[in-house]
Structure 1
Amino acid sequence: MMMTLFCFSGCAKEETPTEISWFDDFEMGQETAERLGQNMVVDFYTDWCKWCKVLDDSVYTDPKIIEMSAEMIFIKIDSEKDTLNTRNYGISGYPTVVLMNPAGEEIDRIYGYLPAPDFINQINLYLGGTETLQDYLRRLEANPNDLEVNYTLAEKYEARSQYEKSASFYSKVLELDPQNEAGKSDKALMNLGFSYYRQKKFQRAIDTNTEFIKRYPDSELKEDVIVYIPYFYAEWGRKERALKLYNQYLRTYPEGENVEWVNNEIKKLTEKEKP
């Protein structure tokens, strides 16, 4: 038995994998990670996620990432099926790739798509203890008024579905730079609105986006913020108000970048009203 195990491990290390060998069961993957003492790369995805497919096609086929998979356990989690682990790890959007130690404890995560070179670099930084949540908390302790640190912490907590904490840090960014001189405050205010929405504080989310339009009328994010307001109304159950504001957007921005999305949202709302 010991000789068989030794030979298996030795032979596996000598082979160069040509593709990633994925686990599709979290518990089985973690059990293997604990037995081998290897970290885990856990990809939370959905079938309808466009960037999840891009990640599959252009990142996980990269030779350097395939090589990395020989030393780590790679697990794919369909979040619409494995809702327990999706909830336990606070997954708030897709794709989300969580780097974990063999015990299943998070080291940090990649929220959204990164090209292969950036993906590899980020994983290696996390493994070295750099740019993790704990790293930024240490930086905050050294300099509580560092705008970049506060903004990054807001994003990290938002990616973990810890919206009260993310709202606190986004608010701090606005306090530090109300005039948006560093170019972070407009995005912070937009994301603050989303943090309130995620907490189902719909009126506060709407008020925050309305404040954005007044405070940053020239921001390139303004058009997105405008369409989020009716979206929040719709999620609140106020469909008539949502439809009115969606149609107002279409009249104001007939060639706007969100026209297709808005028309789809209008279609969803009007179809729900049909008997």
Structure 2
Amino acid sequence: MKKYYFLLIPALFFFTFFSGANAQTSPKVKWYTIEEAEALARKEPKKIMIDVYTDWCGWCKKMDAETFSHPVIAEYINAHYYAVKLNAESEKDITFNGYTYKYVSQGVRGYHELAAGLLNGQLSYPSIAYLNEKLELLGAIPGYRGPVDMEPLLNYIAENKFMIQSLEEYQQTFKSKITE
């Protein structure tokens, strides 16, 4: 019986060590603060994608759980954007592009000036704002988007296709990497 323990212990070690080494984790979106993204974009220009959310927003949480956690989406965002999470009700001052944005109190809830500026005063959550490499607002798109709907949109903006065709035209020829 003792000789079986001598065989069992190395076998357990081998399987434990090598099975853990081969386990792959799905890519996750690398989130930055807006200040970090600005500094990075000035050094190495890349578009900025800003997820404007609130803590109480159920659709925002669903988008985090289903869309931003999808490996194809996370990998694409990390490769083509500096991704920012912006709480639209944050009370913290934010300095971006030489201007300090503040929280505006309105009774029980307020809003952040930066969120209002990015969303052109149309505070709807979730919303995704896109900035070009020069930190200029390209636009904001309100509402929840699942991975299948988000993938062509991310590509459309990252590849500057919005300059030559409508999103609807682009979606007709877009080849998805998502297999469901």
- Normalising TM by the smaller chain, what interval? 0.5 to 0.7
Alignment match, 1:185: none
Unaligned runs of 5+ in 2: 1-24, 93-111, 167-180
Name the structure, 1 or 2, with higher relative contact order (CA <8 Å, separation 6+). 2
SS of match in other structure, 1:28:
helix
1:222-271: CA deviation from partner (whole Å, max 9, x where unpaired): xxxxxxxxxxxxxxxxxxxxxxxxxxxxxxxxxxxxxxxxxxxxxxxxxx
Asked if the contact 1:43/1:98 (under 8 Å) is kept, the reply is yes
Quote how far apart the aligned CAs of 1:66 are. Answer: 1.3
Give the corresponding residue for 1:120: 151
* Alignment partners' CA distance in 2, 1:106 and 1:86: 12
Q: Moved runs in structure 1, 4+ residues, more than 3 A?
A: 127-132
**C-alpha distance after superposition, 1:12-48 (max 9, x if no partner):** xxxx97211111x212221112211111110000011
Task: Give secondary structure in 2 for the equivalent of 1:123.
Answer: helix
Deviation per residue, 1:105-129 (Å, 9 max, x gap): 1223321011112101012123344
Contact 1:30 1:103 in 2 (8 A): no
Mapping of residues 110-189 of structure 1, within 5 Å? 110-130=141-161
Match status 1:41 vs 2:82: no
Match of 1:79? 88
Find the counterpart in structure 2 of residue 30 from structure 1. Answer: 38
- For residue 58 of structure 1, what is the aligned residue in structure 2? 66
Answer yes or no: is the 8 Å Cα contact 1:43–1:97 preserved in 2.
yes
* In structure 2, C-alpha distance between the alignment counterparts of 1:17 and 1:36, rounded to whole Å: 25
Alignment of 1:21 onto 2:26: no
How much has 1:70 moved relative to structure 2? Answer: 2.5
Percent of aligned pairs with the same amino acid: 24
How many residue pairs are counted as aligned between the two chains? Answer: 120
Corresponding residue SS for 2:51: strand
Change (3 A) 1:106 1:36: same
Give the match for residue 94 of structure 1: 125
Higher strand share: 2
- Deviation, 1:135, is 6.3
Q: Deviation per CA, 1:170-194, whole angstroms, max 9, x where unpaired?
A: xxxxxxxxxxxxxxxxxxxxxxxxx
* Helix, strand or coil at the partner of 2:157: helix
Q: What one-letter code is carried by the residue in structure 2 that aligns with 1:58?
A: E
Once the 2 structures are TM-superposed, how far is the Cα of residue 131 of structure 1 from its aligned partner?
5.1
The unaligned stretches of length 5 or more in structure 1 are: 1-15, 137-275
Do the aligned partners of residues 34 and 85 (structure 1) sit closer, same or farther apart at CA in structure 2, a change above 3 Å counting?
same
Cα 1:102–1:117, aligned 2, differ >3 Å: closer, same or farther? same
Provide the rounded CA distance (Å) in 2 between the counterparts of 1:111 and 1:131: 17
Q: Is the 8 A contact 2:47 2:158 kept in 1?
A: no
Q: Determine the structure 2 residue equivalent to 1:196.
A: none
Question: Which amino acid in structure 2 is aligned with residue 85 of structure 1?
Answer: L
CA distance in 2, matches of 1:126, 1:18: 21
